[in-house]
Amino acid sequence: MINKAEEDLLVLAAQKGNQDAFRVLFQRHHKALLRFAYKLCQDQELAKEATQEAWIKSSKTIFKLKDPRAFKSWLYRLTRWRIIDLVRQVKTRDKLIESTAAYDDLPDGVDDIDVNIKQGNTDSLIQAIDTLPTTERHMIHLFYLDEMSVAEVSVVLEIPIGTVKSRLNRARHLLRQKYGSKENEY
């Protein structure tokens, strides 16, 4: 496990072109970043694509990062924006397909492909988190599962710190309600 000071040094080295340092940063953050992307879009392929594109962009623009301590939140922010762009592209493509489907002689259901991949997670807490509304679910994942500070979550989601705190509080409250009711079922 790399501590924060070592990570800052790795970022500085990567900014100077050290590929080994960037590789270590990749290995440290890739799985969590992929999980974050999946939680945003609920589509495994889209999450993989967005994460890959975020890493490519970060490798090309890491030298622009002024504060190495902001690397993690900067990386998550890149991924979030890429997810937003890709989801927008998919929606536009789907609308185009729907509008042209009336002119095609394709049988019903040809374009109805289920791309949402569900994970068979049996842990009741994770299930409770997944039932939260989108905003609250993102708060819990970033703060607890990805171990980001309130300030880092603020940067990733581009909202004020006070808003992060209130949304996190609301997410905790909803989670207590949902998780508490699941616990009572057993």
Task: Write the secondary structure of 68-102 as one string of H (helix), E (strand) and C (coil).
Answer: HHHHHHHHHHHHHHHHHHHHHHHHHHHHHHHHHHC
Supply 73's token pair. Answer: 């939140």
What's residue 177's pLDDT? 81
68/92 same-domain check: yes
Whether residue 85 contacts residue 53, with contact meaning beta carbons closer than 8 Å, is answered with: no
77/125 same-domain check: no
43/62 same-domain check: yes
28/72 same-domain check: yes
Q: How confident is the model at residue 92 (pLDDT cuts 50, 70, 90)?
A: low
Supply 84's token pair. Answer: 């937003």
Closest CA to 91 of 132, 154, 43: 43
Q: How confident is the model at residue 53 (pLDDT cuts 50, 70, 90)?
A: very high
The total domain count for the chain is 2
In the chain, % of residues over pLDDT 70:
77
Q: How confident is the model at residue 113 (pLDDT cuts 50, 70, 90)?
A: very low
Task: Compute CA distances 42 → 39, 51, 113, 150, whole Å.
Answer: 5, 13, 15, 24
184/125 same-domain check: yes
What's residue 1's pLDDT? 53
| Residue 100: pLDDT over 60 | no
Model-level pTM greater than 0.85?
A: no
105/129 same-domain check: no
84/154 same-domain check: no
Whether residue 51 contacts residue 37, with contact meaning beta carbons closer than 8 Å, is answered with: yes
Convert the pLDDT of each residue in 62-74 to its tens digit.
Answer: 999 999 999 999 9
111/123 same-domain check: no
Final residue of a structural domain among 67, 102, 117: 117
110/126 same-domain check: no
49/76 same-domain check: yes
What's residue 112's pLDDT? 26
Give the domain range for residue 157.
119-186
Alpha helices by DSSP H, 16-43: 19-41
Final residue of a structural domain among 117, 135, 162: 117
105/61 same-domain check: yes
